[in-house]
Amino acid sequence: MQKVTGEIRPSNIPEALARLAANPRVLVRRGGAPRPGGKCVVYWMQRALRAVDNPALDVAIEAGNTLGLPVIIFFGVIPNYPNANLRHYHFLQQGLRDAAEDAAARGLGFVVRCAPDNNLEAFLEEVQAALLVGDENPCREPERWRSVLAKRLKIPYWTVDADVVVPSRVFNRSFVLLHHFRPHLQRELPRFLVAPSKIESLHAFKPRKKPASFDLAQDITAGFTKLDRSVQPVDTFTGGTHAAMARLRSFVRHDLARYDETRNRPETAGTSRLSPYLHFGNIGPLTIALAVEQAKAPSEIKAKFMEQLIGWRELAVLFVRHEPHYDSWECAASWARNSLLEHAGDPRPYRYSFDQLERGETHDELWNAAQRQMVRDGWMHNYLRMYWGKKILEWAPDPATAFDWAVILNDRYELDGRDPNGYAGIAWAIVGKLDRPWFNRPVFGLVRTMTANSFARKFDAAAYIRQHSPAD
C-alpha cells in the first residue's frame, strides 16, 4: 500500500471529537487539539466536488457543530493538475458552480481561489481554521500532497474516504480477481450501504467580512500559460451535481430495468453514463447505489449494476491504492509478464504509430469509431473500451508501449480519465490484471484476446460506426 504518513490513531483526539474520528471513513493524518480560539472548520474540497451527499463534508459539519463553529469549503484551483487539459477544467468549473450554490443553501462558506492566491496553508491562517477536513484520492500525486500537508500543518487534519461505498481501509489490501473480492465486499455492505443521516450546520457562515473568492462567472483557466487547450470542452456532458442527479433520475426511471440487455449494446445509450460525474466527485457512489436499490427493477438487474458500480469500481480503487505501478506495464502479474515477453517477437500483421492511433487511422473501422467517440464526446462505451485496449496491445511495438499509449489517450480525452477505473481497465486489457490466464495466443500469450469478428457480432457494430463516422 502507498504509505500514509503522519497517521495518528484516534487516541490523541479530544474527547468531544473522538466519536467522529472513530468513523471508519476517517483517517486522522494529524491529530491533536483544534486551534484554540479557532474561528471555523475548513473542508478542503478536491476529489469529492459536491456540497450534498458528501461524507467528508458531513464530517466537517459535525466537527463544526461539536466545536460551535461554522464550516468553510475551500477549493484551490491548481493550474498544473497532472494531465488535466481544457476539457477537464471546463467540466470542473461547471461542477464548482453547483457546489457553490448547494453550499450557500446549506449555510456553508464556499471559497474558490486561483493562483497565486490558491495556497491552502495561507488560507487556513487567514480564516484561523481550528481543524482541517479533506477528502481522499488513491492516485499517486494527490496522495503525496495529502501526506506532505499532514507533516507541515500545525492544526489537526483528517481525511474522509468519501468516494467509495465501503472505505478502502476496511479491506486494507487489494484482490486479484472480482470473485475473490466479492465475499469480503458482501460482508461489509450491510454496514455501509445505508442512507446517511441528514447533517446540517448549526452555525451558519456569516462573517463580517467574507473571504475573497474567485468569481465563477469568469474562466478559472485564464492565465494558465501551460494548459493544453487543444482538447476542447464537449457538449455531451455538463459537469456538476445538478446534471449528475438529473442523469441518475433518468437512468433509474428509463434504462435501469433493461440494463442487463443494453449494457453491452454500445449503439444504444443503455448505461448510466455517470462515470465523468463519479470521477469529478459531483455525485457519490452511495447516492447512486441507494437510488438503484430503491428503484422498481428486477433484483438481478440491480445486482448486475451494483457489481459494476461497487464491485468493479472499488476493486479498481483498491488496485490503485496498493499497486505503486498502477499506470505502467510494471503492474503485470508474473504469469502475464512472462507470457507477453515470450510472445514479444511474434509477427504483428498491423502496426500503428501513436499519432495514427490518436487520429483513429487504422484498418479497423470499429476501433476508429470508438477512438472518435472518445475524442469527440469525452466518453467511450465500456464494451468498446475493452476492445480498444486489446487492439492497442496488438498494434503497438511492445506491451510496455501499449500500456503507456493507452494511458496517455485515455487520460487525455476521457472526461472520466485520470481515474483508478482507467488504470485498472487498461491493466485488465493489456496485462491481464484482475483477470485470469486464458489460452496461449500469438502476441497476447495468456492474456485474454478479443477479436473483431466475435465481438462485433454481439451488437449492431454498423450502427455504432455510423454514429461515430469521420464526417460527423
Ligand X SMILES: Cc1cc2nc3c(=O)[nH]c(=O)nc-3n(C[C@H](O)[C@H](O)[C@H](O)COP(=O)(O)OP(=O)(O)OC[C@H]3O[C@@H](n4cnc5c(N)ncnc54)[C@H](O)[C@@H]3O)c2cc1C
Residues that bind ligand X (CB under 6 A): 263, 271-275, 278-279, 308-309, 312-313, 316, 382, 385-386, 389, 410, 414, 416-417, 419, 421-422, 425-426, 428-429
Q: Which is nearer to ligand X, 131 or 165 (CB)?
A: 165
Q: Which is nearer to ligand X, 123 or 428 (CB)?
A: 428
Q: Which is nearer to ligand X, 273 or 343 (CB)?
A: 273
Q: Please, which residues have CB within 8 angstroms of residue 285's CB and are 6 or more apart in sequence? A: 163, 164, 165, 278, 309, 310, 313
Q: Which of 313, 322, 332 is nearest to 447 (CA)?
A: 332
The DSSP H or E segment spanning 422 is helix 420-431
Q: Which of 184, 260, 249, 210 is nearest to 104 (CA)?
A: 210
**In the complex, least distance from residue 59 CB atom to ligand X, rounded to whole angstroms:** 23
**In the complex, least distance from residue 176 CB atom to ligand X, rounded to whole angstroms:** 15
DSSP single-letter state for residue 375: H
Q: How many C-beta atoms lie closer than 10 Å to residue 439's C-beta?
A: 9
Q: Which is nearer to ligand X, 25 or 412 (CB)?
A: 412
Q: Which is nearer to ligand X, 17 or 424 (CB)?
A: 424
Q: Tell how strand 129-135 and strand 157-160 pair up.
A: parallel
**In the complex, least distance from residue 135 CB atom to ligand X, rounded to whole angstroms:** 17
**In the complex, least distance from residue 270 CB atom to ligand X, rounded to whole angstroms:** 8
**In the complex, least distance from residue 137 CB atom to ligand X, rounded to whole angstroms:** 14
Q: Which of 309, 293, 127, 316 is nearest to 210 (CA)?
A: 127
What count of residues does the chain have? 472
Q: Which is nearer to ligand X, 66 or 449 (CB)?
A: 449
**In the complex, least distance from residue 178 CB atom to ligand X, rounded to whole angstroms:** 9
Distance CA(58)–CA(309), nearest Å, equals 22
The type of residue at 221 is: T
Distance CA(54)–CA(98), nearest Å, equals 14
